[in-house]
Amino acid sequence: MAEKNAYISASCVISNNTVYKNKQVVFENKGAVLPDFLTSVYQHFAWKYPKYYKMDNLSKLGWAAAEILLQGSDIEKYPPEDVGLILSNANASLDTDTRYFETTKDIASPALFVYTLPNITTGEICIRHKFKGENAFFVFEKFDPGFLHQYVNNLLNNDTLQACICGWVDVLQEDYKVLLVLVESNGNAGNTAERFTKENIENLYSLHNG
C-alpha cells in the first residue's frame, strides 16, 4: 500500500464563541449563550437551510463547521462515494439525551429523540453535501489526533476515499469545541496547505483553546 501525500486543505475551529477558518477569525459573538451564538452564526453567514433550526446543538456545531470548512473548496470534484466523514467527541449525544429525558416526564419529544445519537451529526452533513463515502463517529475520553490520523490515512492510502472531513465535535451544555479539517489525498500542496500529520492536527486543536 503506497503512502500518499495527504494534506490538510482547510480547517475550521469553533470555540469560545469564535469561528476560525484556516486559523483566521471569521466570526465572533462573545457573551452569547450557545443556542444564541449558533443562531447568530447561521444569520451571519446568511445560510438558507431552515432544517438547521431543528437540529440539536451537536448537529448545529458540526453542520456549521462543515459549511464554513467547505466554503470555497472544490469538494464537488470528487465522486460522492470518495468523500468521507470521520468525527469524534467525548460526550456523544449526552447533551440532547438529557434534554430528551426531561421531556419524557411529560410527553416525549420526537424532534429531540431523533438527535439522541452522535452520528446524526454525520448524517446531517452528508445529507447537505451529498457525501456517500465512509463515515463514522467515535467517542473517546479526550481528543485523539493519533487515532484520527491513522484511521483517515488508512482510508486514503487504500483508496477507500480521496478526501475526508475529520475532527472533533463536542458539546455538553455550554461547554463545546469543534475542529474540522478537510484532508485530501495527493491534495493541494500549495503554500497554505499543511501535511496531514498527527502533530499538525494536534496544533490546530490546541491553537484556539480559550
Partner 1 sequence: MSDLKKQIIEQLNLQDIKPEDIGDDQPLFVDGLGLDSIDALELIVLLQQHYKIKLSNAEDGPKVFKSVRTIAEYITAHQNQVA
Q: Does 109 bind partner 1 (CB under 8 A)?
A: yes
Of 74-82, 83-91, 105-113, 163-171, which part binds partner 1 (CB under 8 A)?
105-113
Binding of residue 111 to partner 1 (CB under 8 A): yes
Residue 172, interface with partner 1 (CB under 8 A)?
no
When binding is defined by CB under 8 A, the residue of 16, 33, 53, 146 that contacts partner 1 is: 53
Give dist(CA 183, CA 68) in Å, integer: 15
Nearer to partner 1, 1 or 107 (CB): 107
Q: By CB under 8 A, is residue 117 in contact with partner 1?
A: no
Selected range binding partner 1 among 69-77, 108-116, 136-144, 196-204, rule: CB under 8 A: 108-116
- What is the C-alpha separation between 205 and 197, in angstroms, rounded? 13
Q: What contacts 122, CB < 8 A, 6 or more positions away?
A: 62, 85, 87, 135, 136, 137
First to last CA, the chain: 40
Distance CA 128, CA 126 (A): 5
Judged by CB under 8 A, which of 50, 105, 141, 190 binds partner 1? 50
Taking CB under 8 A as the rule, does residue 141 contact partner 1? no
Is 110 one of the binding residues for partner 1 (CB under 8 A)? yes
The Cα 61–Cα 41 span in angstroms is: 10
Largest CA distance in the chain: 57
138: helix, coil or strand? strand
Shorter beta-carbon distance to partner 1: residue 111 or 189: 111
Q: Which parts of this chain interact with partner 1 (CB under 8 A)?
A: 39, 50, 53-54, 106-107, 109-111, 114
